[in-house]
Structures are given as structure tokens and as C-alpha cells.
Amino acid sequence: MESTPETPPQIEQQATEEMPQTRSAFRTPSWLRDVVVSVSISVFIIMFLYQPVRVEGTSMLPMLSDQDRLFINKMAYHIGDVHRGDVVVFQYPRDQSKNYIKRVIGLPGDHIRIDRGKVYVNGALLHESYVPHRFEDSRSLPDTVVPKNEYWVMGDHRSISSDSRDFGAVDRGLIYGRAAFVYWPFDQLGVVH
């Protein structure tokens, strides 16, 4: 009868010794777990939050140059509104396989008029410090009302930009991101205004 109490400790000790061996057989290496977590977070960020894009062309000079690399915020307009002055990325209305980047000038319902390059929104001259004098043009456009759920967009380099003056207002459904941050080249590093 005295041997009965000793048996459970031996069984317990044996089970304790075997469990670490069983766990280590199924244990994922920490470096692999770290890689999987990092890739998952990166995919989530790129698919739902921020997406890297490359600028092609010079219509947004001096803010954005040809071949600049930047991140666009893809969630900005899922949870917020498009504002005048935002630099947006959208599908080109005439060929949705192409993407354009321009600045929002007019909101739905706004009256837009351009007189020898000067932009008037709802009768008031729009102060555009982002358009240097050397990039202005002398085009004019009669009073135009921005349709409901559409936005008037223009490039900062007015003398060469193809924008709403050419293809009209852009439907809200075509706008998919707001330019957020230039990451390349390093001398242009910074927030897009």
C-alpha cells in the first residue's frame, strides 16, 4: 500500500518531461512568425490604407515632379470628405485604365469661372499659392456649375495640365485616394500640401 502514493508523482514527472518535446515539435520558428506577421501587416496597409504610386508627368509641378514616389491614403475618402485643395488620385474619366493626380478646385454645386488664368469659385477669386507665376496660363472658361457628386480638378502647372478644363468634372466614384507623403527622392521627402 505504501507504493501507491509514489506512482502518481512518477507518472506526473514522466508527463512533464514528455510535454516540452511534443510542443517543440509543433513550434513555429520565431523568425518565420515575424516574417508572416510583417508581410500580413504590409499587405493590409497597402490594400486598405496606403498605396505607393509613381508620378508620371509634370502637371503637378512644383509640388510633385515626374517620377516622384509617394504614398496615397486610400482610406481618406471612405471615412471623410473630399476638400478643396486636396491633391487626389483618380481614374481618368475618358480611360479608366489610366490614373491622374490633380488638385481639387471645385466641390459639387460650386460655380467655377476662369478669366485669363485666374480661377473664381462662387464669384470669389481663389488664392492659389501653390501655382507659381511661371506656371500660370491665360486660358478662360465661362461659368460652369460642378455637378452633384463630382469634383473640379486642375494641375498646379496650369500651362501644360490636362484637367477638368479639358475633360470636365470627375465623378466621386473615380477618386480613390489622397496624396499623403513623398518618399522618393529624398530631397523631396515630405507631406503633400
Q: Looking at 74, 102, 161, 164, which residue is catalytic?
A: 102
Q: Looking at 59, 74, 161, 164, which residue is catalytic?
A: 59
Using 50, 70 and 90 to split pLDDT, how confident is the model at 15? very low
Cα–Cα distance for residue pair 97/89, rounded to 1 Å: 13
**Residue ranges of domains in the chain:** 7-44, 55-191
59 is catalytic: yes
Cα–Cα distance for residue pair 36/144, rounded to 1 Å: 52
Cα–Cα distance for residue pair 145/112, rounded to 1 Å: 6
Find, among 107, 72, 105, 106, the residue nearest to 91 by Cα: 72
Which of 17-26, 37-46, 97-106, 119-128 bottoms out in mean pLDDT, i.e. has the lowest? 17-26
Using 50, 70 and 90 to split pLDDT, how confident is the model at 28? confident
DSSP bridge partners of 72: 51, 179
Does the pLDDT at position 11 exceed 50? no
Query: For residue range 160-189, what is the model confidence (pLDDT) as tens digits?
Result: 999 999 999 999 999 999 999 999 998 989
Under 8 Å between Cβ of 71 and 42: no
Query: For residue range 78-87, what is the model confidence (pLDDT) as tens digits?
Result: 889 999 999 9
Does the pLDDT at position 24 exceed 60? no
Assigned superfamily of 55-191: Umud Fragment, subunit A (2.10.109.10)
